[in-house]
Structure 1
Amino acid sequence: MSRPPFSVPPEVMQALEELWSAGHAGYLVGGGVRDALLGRTPHDPVWDLATDAIPERALELFPGGTYENRFGTVLAGGVEVTTFRRDHAYGDHRRPDRVTFTDSIEEDLARRDFTVNAVAWGRAAGGQEAGWVDPTGGRADLDARLLRAVGDPELRFGEDALRLVRAARIAAQVGLTIHPDTEAAMSERAGDVSYLATERIGRELRRMLDAEPPSAAFRILERTGLLRSLFPELAAQLGVVQDKIPGQDLWDHSLATLDAAAALAPADPIAKLAALLHDTGKPETAADGHFLGHEEAGARIAQTFLSRLGFGSQDVRRVVRLVRHHMWSYVPAWGDAAVRRFMRRVGVDLVDDLLRLREADNVGSGWPAEGGGVAELRARIAEQRHRRPPLSLADLAVDGNAVMASLGREPGPWLGRTLERLLDSVISDPERNTPERLLADARTWAEKP
């Protein structure tokens, strides 16, 4: 058998055959094999190949490749080619202090995290027939939909604390049940996540949000005690009572809202993050069954949470704005000007996401998605967009230079206040948005020097 019994991208198969042609062992390993055996599209577009070729030899075989670490991995296009290795002590609970290259695929697989990731397909150096190498029973565990650590789970998690987080993420993402011994070790070593760089945790969080449903990963974190160690802002919602669905606490509501947001916008991580974080301000504002000001508290918490985990500033700002504005209310008596003011206040770029967040929040509360006037407000916003009214300073028929020239004044704080007042006037009455009307108003309103 020279081709694997599952689909492999042509460039990956070409790299594997290059190793074989040069007389080296070459095996497909890792998450790509796992996902392919489950009939899933691999979550990671980069496939892993394991080989007895040392990095210098791999660079000769793949001249466009790069070798930038001490663990034997050469990146060649969409393929990571890694030399068989043994890992030694993990002094920092993150990475091995040193590695030793070996010529044994079995030794290489024995160092891996979970049995389902320790399955290899390929052939030995000089071999004629390719086949499976599965010393830890990973294929049987896949058939049983089981996630099990390789060997002693406490030892595996003690080596690299990120494996604790990966276990929750992989189980949720792939749809596996964690073996009881492995889950018990996760609980025992939950505190080890303190060794991790927050950016590594943030990368895993992003991937958890892609699970279907994303709440599955967070339920595992909750069950093992990892939630409090990793995300105390989220764990603070546990046990907080609110008047939504009987028998459910605030954390239940947040996870239901997260799943609803994922159903509404599967490819939008901002929508999912906003749903996950929208009520994080409630625990600190809870008083007499109310949570006054929780949206502002939640915006502050979201800012700190996402920045700590290494999210980009643009994404952080967008999530924070969604959390800050998520408590809007609408009544049918609003006039068109009120609709325009709403669009201006929350941001024209944000209104669609904000309405979607409300739909998710409604579903997470046990209500119809479009309850509270969501559908009507969406229609009225669409109508205003069709009319293209002025909604920002850039939409004004005059700019700051024209106002200064008309009034004969130098720049100063007065100018910004005047432009904002002009904008407010044209939001109320778009017909006022002409140079003549605006400059006349500016002359009337401008403060004296």
Structure 2
Amino acid sequence: MSNEEQRKALATLLGRVIPAEAEQLGRRFAAAGHELALVGGPVRDALLRRPVTDLDFTTDAPPNRVLEVIDGWADAVWTIGIEFGTVGLRKGEHLMEVTTYRSETYDPKSRKPDVSYGTSLVEDLRRRDFAVNAMAARLPSREFVDPFGGLEDLKAKRLRTPGLPEDSFNDDPLRMLRAARFASQLGFTIDPPVLAAMREMADRIEIVSAERVQAELSKLLCGAYPRAGLAALDVSGLAAYVLPELPALRLEIDEHHRHKDVYEHSMIVLDQAIAQEEDGPDLVLRLAALLHDIGKPRTRAHLEGGRVSFHHHEVVGAKLTKKRLMALKYSKEIVTDVSRLVELHLRFHGYGEGEWTDSAVRRYVRDAGHLLPRLHKLTRADCTTRNRRKADRLAKTYDALEERIARLAEEEELGRIRPDLDGDEIQEVLGIKPGPLVGKAYKFLMDLRLDKGPQDKEAAKEALLAWAREEGVL
């Protein structure tokens, strides 16, 4: 196929995925004397035959001129990114962003980029992170523009920068994380010179805000190939700055103290957790699977006979998880849920061959709360033994625990367990006013409920009065 035939074929392919609204927008810009091109991710995904959702455009028109062109045509407009040259809009069901040709550079000590506008589409593409994202389709003509070999990189499944990677990463250090993220999302390999530059410049990531790092890490973890992305973070040295607990999992193994490679174990647990997902990527579950053993390096102890212990690593790991996720500016809900899963991930191993009482099962359910379905998945994923007989035994034991939980849930509505007396009734029985004592009494009754199951009101009152006498309240 000649170059001209290939361009026509690509224009036809892009025409199938570019919505009519995009071509309408291209005609408006052309009528106003300006260029417009679909650029970056949408073009890449169209060529990969992946779904194209949000549409990104670039233009020679400055932001204020963009506002004039779309006035009266867009259904909604927002200008939150206008200082960086970006105008957002909605037309029908399509979300679009139009960005003026530009370049970004970071001062060595600044986390905020300096933005300057340009007049050339090719120069705008030159500043982009990777060649596979430096392709464009001019509108309304659909002319395919690929000055840096992005199409060949797509075929080779390769991540390469349009220019020197050192220049690219110096302009925007976040691009190093984006390389790892695209390795996860697309399954592409990172070109050796790019990886070498990432190793050399990894410390530059420290000038990027925690919020932007977190966004890239979340996308990486929710990609189709998260292990590839995490491996890129590890081998490039970036993990030492954004997730230092990850390389720390590579515990030293010597001839006298042999034990599992905790890093590899964690990767397998992540894979096995993902295999249980039902409604797409679950960021909380994936974070918990990745971080569940990060307390091991801090708690490792060598015992006689070459044995190794990690006592209370789940408790230490929960604290480390909370600290790391807070530093990455994750939401309070994600921090709480992930650290709780890390704390609880070993609880099942006290179940033995089913020795737990119904009280212990109730506590397991109560402590997990809304995280119980995820805890089930994490606990099952944490079995990475190569001993098939042992793995089958653990699976059957957990099956039995889930069956007990289901039976008790049906009998007692475990998800809504409450003490048999509420706060008002506690105050009435003990003749006290609202205060800390009511909370202590409530906790006593909750423990009683978990230990013995449902009680009638009279039995609960008698137990509460007996407790109060022992506590010296009455």
Does TM, scored on the shorter chain, surpass 0.5?
yes
Pick from 81, 86, 94 the counterpart of residue 73 of structure 1: 86
> CA–CA distance in 1 between the matches of 2:111 and 2:454?
63
Q: Deviations over 1:372-412 (max 9, x none)?
A: 721111111111111134676x6233212112212222334
- Per the normalisation by structure 1, the TM-score is 0.90
> CA–CA distance in 2 between the matches of 1:159 and 1:366?
50
Would the alpha carbon gap of residues 6 and 141 (structure 1) be closer, same or farther in structure 2, given more than 3 Å must change? Answer: farther
> CA–CA distance in 2 between the matches of 1:178 and 1:441?
66
Q: 8 Å contact 1:215–1:256 — kept in the other structure?
A: no
After TM superposition, list the pairs within 5 Å mapping 1:80-229 onto structure 2. Answer: 80-87=97-104, 90-92=107-109, 96-102=113-119, 104-123=120-139, 129-229=141-241
After TM superposition, list the pairs within 5 Å mapping 1:345-424 onto structure 2. Answer: 346-363=367-384, 368=391, 371=395, 373-389=397-413, 395-424=418-447
Query: For residue 314 of structure 2, what is the amino acid of its counterpart?
Result: E
Would the alpha carbon gap of residues 425 and 390 (structure 1) be closer, same or farther in structure 2, given more than 3 Å must change? Answer: farther
- Structure-2 residue corresponding to 1:278: 292
Post-superposition offset of 1:364 = 7.5
Q: Deviations over 1:141-161 (max 9, x none)?
A: 111111101111111111111
- Per the normalisation by structure 2, the TM-score is 0.85
Q: Deviations over 1:282-340 (max 9, x none)?
A: 00100011100101110000000000001100111111111111111213233323321
SS in 1 for 2:97: strand
Query: For residue 84 of structure 2, what is the amino acid of its counterpart?
Result: F
- Structure-2 residue corresponding to 1:327: 346
> CA–CA distance in 2 between the matches of 1:280 and 1:188?
26
RMSD: 2.5
Pick from 41, 45, 67 the counterpart of residue 59 of structure 1: 67
Post-superposition offset of 1:80 = 0.7
Would the alpha carbon gap of residues 6 and 149 (structure 1) be closer, same or farther in structure 2, given more than 3 Å must change? Answer: farther
Do residues 444 (structure 1) and 459 (structure 2) align? no
Do residues 309 (structure 1) and 345 (structure 2) align? no
Post-superposition offset of 1:70 = 2.5
Query: For residue 384 of structure 1, what is the amino acid of its counterpart?
Result: L
Post-superposition offset of 1:242 = 11
Q: 8 Å contact 2:29–2:36 — kept in the other structure?
A: yes
Q: 8 Å contact 2:265–2:384 — kept in the other structure?
A: no
Unpaired runs of 5+ residues, structure 2, are: 1-7, 303-307
Q: 8 Å contact 1:390–1:430 — kept in the other structure?
A: no
> CA–CA distance in 2 between the matches of 1:359 and 1:10?
48
Do residues 16 (structure 1) and 26 (structure 2) align? yes
Q: Deviations over 1:253-305 (max 9, x none)?
A: 11111122122124211100001110000001000111001011100000000
Post-superposition offset of 1:347 = 2.8
Would the alpha carbon gap of residues 248 and 212 (structure 1) be closer, same or farther in structure 2, given more than 3 Å must change? Answer: farther
Q: State the number of aligned residues.
A: 437
Would the alpha carbon gap of residues 388 and 108 (structure 1) be closer, same or farther in structure 2, given more than 3 Å must change? Answer: same
SS in 2 for 1:276: helix
Q: 8 Å contact 2:29–2:35 — kept in the other structure?
A: yes
SS in 2 for 1:28: strand
Q: Deviations over 1:329-364 (max 9, x none)?
A: 2132333233213222x2332222111101111147
Q: Deviations over 1:92-148 (max 9, x none)?
A: 46554240331x21111111111111000114xxxx743111111111111111110
Would the alpha carbon gap of residues 140 and 183 (structure 1) be closer, same or farther in structure 2, given more than 3 Å must change? Answer: same
Identity of matched residues, %? 37
Would the alpha carbon gap of residues 47 and 364 (structure 1) be closer, same or farther in structure 2, given more than 3 Å must change? Answer: farther
Q: 8 Å contact 2:354–2:397 — kept in the other structure?
A: yes
